[in-house]
Amino acid sequence: MRVAMYYSNKDVRIESMPIPKLSEGELLVRVHSSGICGSDLMEWYRVNKAPCVLGHEVAGEVFEVGQGVTGFDIGDKVVFTHHVPCNNCRYCMRGNHTLCDTLHATYFDPGGFAEYIRLPRINVDKGGVIKMPEGLDFDVATFAEPLGCILRGLGRLNILPGDSVLVLGSGMAGLLNIKVSIALGAGRVVATDIHDLRIEAAKDSGASSVFNGLQSELTDILLEDNGTKFDHVIVCAAGETVFRQAMSVVEKGGSILLYAFSAPEAKFQFSLNEFFSQGISIFTTYGASPIDLLQAIELLHYGRVQVSDLITHKLELDQTSLGFQLAADGSESLKVIIRPNN
């Protein structure tokens, strides 16, 4: 089969490898659509594992069913998560599935930028494979994983009807946070970004106001626009400057959600007194569990969160290198979908 082998963001090659052979309890899926995620573009994280086949926002069709598998048949349309929790450890029992050691140790074979994927038995047994509802489009279904991540993160904030939300950075994570915050009843959602395309996309996604993150005196502009500080600030861009912006505009008793990854060497100082005296809560979030994916699929299926408008490119496997360039640049694309079997 053909795969897009990742060496770096600027070096993605089409190569051949054998179609994975199934063991008992496994599934082989023919990949229809696979989205390029922002985490696929983090070279500091990916290059040490290269060469490898990336892609974890995947939807496809069951092509082969391993011995002993029940509940799935050839031809079933499915979405699936690369990480699955054990559902038994103390983290899982407390609902913190993405802290589970098993979740961080599981994956599928190889990745979504391939014609076929083998889903290990643990992924099948632990709820990591979900049948698509009738009528759900493969391209839209790839959003189940990123939307599941958004749902888990926002679940920590307890957004109440009428709350104000500021989203710093309107890449894909930021745009989905805007859409879901509105769906949860936020009264006012404001956003920032540095690319014109994303600024317009944030407006189209329902943000009340959107500002260029590079303009001077941004903090004053945000506060003047909202009339007060924000109940919740979601940080979807990495770096000290953005974090300090979040600290300067969050309301007393408010919350900050750190959604964007920073490189390991990135360090900065801040005063803990600001948190103690103002009651500010800071949350981090990582990944999604099968429960989150189920909720995401329901939102997508019933149209509670619309995502088709976020897809700017649908490319064949041979164009994966172009897809990575478009996604890494960010000025001309939102979501790039790879279709390995077109």
Beta bridge partners of 234: 167, 257
What is the residue-wise DSSP string for 319-331?
Answer: GHHHHHHHHHH-S
Other beta carbons within 10 Å of 43: 15
Residue type, 94: R
pLDDT of residue 54: 97
338 in Cβ contact with 2 (< 8 Å)? no
Which residue do the tokens 């930028």 mark? 113
pLDDT tens digit sequence for 114-154: 999 999 999 999 999 999 999 999 999 999 999 999 999 99
26 closest CA partner among 70, 59, 83: 70
Structure tokens at 117: 């994927």
Which residue do the tokens 């006012």 mark? 188
Structure tokens at 110: 């190889």
pLDDT of residue 106: 92
pLDDT of residue 19: 98
Q: Phi and psi at residue 116, in whole multiples of 5°? A: -140, 150
**Residue 274 confidence class, pLDDT cut points 50, 70, 90:** confident
Integer CA distances (angstroms), 25 to 67, 69, 184, 197, in order? 6, 5, 38, 45
pLDDT of residue 277: 83
pLDDT tens digit sequence for 200-223: 999 999 999 999 999 889 999 999
Q: Which domains does the chain possess? A: 2-148+287-339 (3.90.180.10), 157-284 (3.40.50.720)
Beta bridge partners of 28: 64, 118
- Pairing label, strands 129-131, 77-80: antiparallel
What is the residue-wise DSSP string for 215-250?
Answer: STTHHHHHHHHHSS-EEEEEE-S-SHHHHHHHHHHE
Structure tokens at 284: 């981090």
Q: Phi and psi at residue 230, in whole multiples of 5°? A: -95, 140
**Residue 93 confidence class, pLDDT cut points 50, 70, 90:** very high
Share of the chain above pLDDT 70, in %: 100
pLDDT of residue 179: 98
pLDDT tens digit sequence for 146-177: 999 999 999 999 899 999 999 999 999 999 99
**Residue 290 confidence class, pLDDT cut points 50, 70, 90:** very high
Read off the DSSP letter of residue 75. Answer: T
CA-atom Rg of the chain in angstroms: 20
The H or E element spanning position 172 is helix 172-183
Which residue do the tokens 């260029």 mark? 212
Read off the DSSP letter of residue 267. Answer: -
**Residue 342 confidence class, pLDDT cut points 50, 70, 90:** confident
Read off the DSSP letter of residue 201. Answer: H
pLDDT tens digit sequence for 298-325: 999 999 999 999 999 999 999 999 999 9
Q: Is the pLDDT of residue 84 over 80?
A: yes
Question: What is the rounded CA–CA span in Å between residue 41 and residue 14?
Answer: 17
pLDDT of residue 114: 98
Average pLDDT rounded to a whole number, residues 53-69: 97
**Residue 297 confidence class, pLDDT cut points 50, 70, 90:** very high
38 closest CA partner among 242, 258, 260, 198: 260
**Residue 99 confidence class, pLDDT cut points 50, 70, 90:** very high
Angle 236-158-169 from CA coordinates, rounded to 5°: 10
Q: Is the pLDDT of residue 276 over 90?
A: no
Rounded mean pLDDT of the chain?
A: 94
pLDDT of residue 183: 94
Question: What is the rounded CA–CA span in Å between residue 100 and residue 291?
Answer: 14
Read off the DSSP letter of residue 99. Answer: G
Q: Specify the pTM.
A: 0.95
The H or E element spanning position 117 is strand 116-119
Residue 47 buriedness (CB in 10 A; 0-12 / 13-18 / 19+): middle
pLDDT tens digit sequence for 4-57: 999 999 999 999 999 999 999 999 999 999 999 999 998 877 878 899 999 999
**Residue 228 confidence class, pLDDT cut points 50, 70, 90:** very high
Question: What is the rounded CA–CA span in Å between residue 58 and residue 80?
Answer: 7
